[in-house]
A and B are shown apart, each in its own frame.
Chain A
């Protein structure tokens, strides 16, 4: 039951830190290397690590598959929604100037933040969904089953 004690303890310590780092990469992406894609992968790593060290059913309690799928869709909606908002404000699709017409560079700043957040959400979801799909595969067929 209590195999790999060190791994378990270290993992529990690391998971929170990894998530924190993911948020840092996400929201500091405009001043330092990073952005939505990297942040999404790092965020997913936290869950995948948890799933590897404990097991699939444990991580699925924390982050249920239905929620993963909704997040995948939500991220795309955030991205496209940002574009749609600028449409409604009378600007071209994804023209972030619309978000702050009096100070376009601020508008660009907010727009890219929103879009990157969408990317982050989707990438997290997709990465975790891929892990679930592979880890949840039934074991290969045995010779007797043929």
Chain B
């Protein structure tokens, strides 16, 4: 047998970042199950997600100039092999997901102790890490089918995480079941879309699909694929008429899970929508234009008003925030539908800003629920006064949710309104402002309950222990920080938006 000498240049740590930030959380999950110790489980989860966060930051630093990194899994060159492709857009979303994943974990330690039976703790952390793996993988891969695989990893673990709220309220089980059915339909639609695309182009690499569609033009198969993918991802992103799983899932899931999911899961789905709309298909096709103008805009407007309106009348704080999330997703989608660089950067920056804001609010509610056991407004009377730091964090985040100047929420709405004027769509700009007024109403209801009502007689609530308080304060600080320093968020979002509008970068040669 002859021996073949193959020239090979050894790869370094930096070269491996695109895959390592997915693989490290992935490995931590089975390790947690294998070790099976509650404290070690938390420690491992924390170490792995913090590592992933640092790696995401390093990646963003590399691609912030608008370039991209391509990583070939197994050394097989795309389109045959699976490619991970990191550019400014996914690096920013990766940073959001792993950042929130890391910040929620110290909080989760106490919160999980209080809400989930002890024998499930190691499984909780394992699933949490799997969910994180799935979301990170979905965002970093450049292979269309790989998106589906990671989507399923994150979804399946999410269903179980939501169901773990059953220790507190058994309605978590039906919520998880609803989410399971809707999520599975979404994932199925998505994979049908991928099947059609594969049929039309014979490839699964996103850049390669884009090249081939551009070459051969569109046909019915490609259009059907687009429709299936939009509906499938719309379900996962809780796009307005497809949002029914969301309020219950967020309300009954354990507090830490709600905070993590609200900030990451729908954002990852919106990222996939963006990726498919701009880097696989392109807005030059009429069917995509029509979808954006005739479907995204009306439904986003409906989401902004109807969901906010429903939020105003909720009697449960968590559920109110869940409906507010649906309305906020409307803002992100309407930014996409504006089809200009400003609109796209508005929706991308809103993904980050809203993620941070909602995570703060849900963490705050979770801390109050530790004391009050339920998140009904009636049980939260005056808790803001009894828990000054938690209350302060929630006020900061509440202001950011409305979009008061000086908070992160203001930046995204401001850019969004600018984008509407750029297109000459003044009525959309007015609608955005009017719906923000609805946000004022529901956020005010929260302030009223937390501060302006008298706490119950003999109320012993105090601020939660530091490991829970610090994550909340960090996130609340971020809500304000990103309202002044937009270099990181808006800067990267603008680079990402330009990258998206330029279309697919094509196959690497």
Contacts and interface: CB of A to CB of B under 8 A. Distances in A.
Interface of A: 69-70, 72-77, 80-81, 83-84, 87, 89-97, 101-104
A8 to B, nearest CB: 34
Contacts, number: 77
Contacts of A90: 8, 10-11
A102 B31 contact: no
Contact of B34 (A73, A83, A101): A73
Contacts of B32: 73
A69 B23 contact: no
A77 B27 contact: yes
17 contacts: A73-B31, A74-B30, A76-B27, A76-B30, A80-B26, A80-B27, A87-B11, A89-B10, A91-B10, A92-B11, A92-B72, A92-B74, A93-B16, A94-B73, A97-B6, A97-B8, A102-B6
Contacts of B23: 80, 83-84, 93
B387 interface: no
Q: Nearest 5 pairs between A and B by C-beta?
A: A90-B10, A95-B75, A73-B30, A73-B33, A76-B30
A87 B10 CA distance: 9
Contacts of A97: 6, 8, 75
B450 to A, nearest CB: 40
Given A70-B34, A77-B34, A83-B23, A102 B75 contact: no
A81 B26 CA distance: 11
Contacts of B16: 87, 92-93
A103 B6 CA distance: 8
B460 interface: no
Interface string B152-175: 000000000000000000000000
Nearest to B18: A93
B3 interface: yes
A9 B20 CA distance: 51
Q: For B5, B11, B73, which residue has the most chain A Cβ atoms within 10 angstroms?
A: B11
Interface of B: 1, 3-6, 8, 10-11, 16, 19-20, 23, 26-27, 29-34, 36, 71-75, 126
A77 B32 CA distance: 11
Given A73-B33, A73-B34, A102-B3, A93 B74 contact: yes
A64 to B, nearest CB: 13
A107 B452 CA distance: 70
A92 B30 contact: no
Nearest to B11: A90
Given A83-B23, A91-B75, A103-B3, A70 B33 contact: yes
A112 B141 CA distance: 22
B79 to A, nearest CB: 16
A10 to B, nearest CB: 36
Given A77-B27, A83-B23, A104 B33 contact: no
Given A74-B30, A77-B31, A89-B10, 5 more contacts: A70-B33, A81-B27, A87-B11, A93-B73, A102-B3
A76 B29 contact: yes
A81 B16 CA distance: 15
Nearest to B82: A94
B74 A102 contact: no
